[in-house]
Copies of this chain bind each other. A is one copy, B any other.
Amino acid sequence: MFKVKVYSVGKSKEAWLQEALAEYTKRLSPHMEIEWVLVKTDAELASKVSPPFIVLDVEGEQVDSPGLARKLSHLWMAHGSKIHFVIGGSDGLDPVLVQKSVWRWSLSKLTFTHQMTRLILLEQLYRALQIDAGTAYHK
């Protein structure tokens, strides 16, 4: 069982986002537990995050979805099954967090809202597990 904490700045007040996150959390639940740690500011992120963690950063490395599945498998193997994720706010990530991260990952060149980033992250985690399992979800 993977235990993943996702650290993020901001709230999740939108009803649609709660429903969407609940849907993917449920799909992930046989293999992965998701815990959300929501903080108010980027500065607060730096004091809360515990390693090992991946930072989501527009300046990071992009991979395709099969590449993500391989990368996560490799990181899980190297660091145990408790790797966390950090989503920065609009002020950008603290450079110290970037430096301490095990991987600096970019979803896209585009700027997404932190809410949508959370949803994309869960869907990609689900997709990565499906790719590893060889199901028809990702084809």
Which of A14, A64, A109 has the most B CB atoms < 10 Å from its CB?
A109
Is the Cβ of B108 less than 8 Å from the Cβ of A110? yes
Tell me, in angstroms, the Cα distance from A102 to B64 when the chains sit together.
25
Is the Cβ of B123 less than 8 Å from the Cβ of A112? yes
Tell me, in angstroms, the Cα distance from A62 to B127 when the chains sit together.
22
Is the Cβ of A62 less than 8 Å from the Cβ of B116? no
Kindly specify which of A2-10, A16-24, A37-45, A46-54 makes contact with the partner chain. Answer: A16-24
Is the Cβ of B107 less than 8 Å from the Cβ of A108? yes
Task: Provide the residues of chain B in CB contact with A139, threshold 8 Å.
Answer: 90
Residues of A in contact with B (beta carbons under 8 Å apart): 14-17, 19-20, 23, 58, 62-65, 67-68, 90, 107-113, 116, 119-120, 123-124, 127, 138-139
The 8 closest A-B pairs by CB, nearest first: A16-B19, A108-B108, A16-B20, A16-B16, A65-B111, A64-B109, A62-B109, A65-B110
Apart from A15-B19, A65-B111, A112-B123: 10 A-B pairs, beta carbons within 8 A: A16-B16, A16-B23, A20-B20, A64-B110, A107-B110, A108-B110, A110-B124, A111-B127, A113-B123, A120-B120
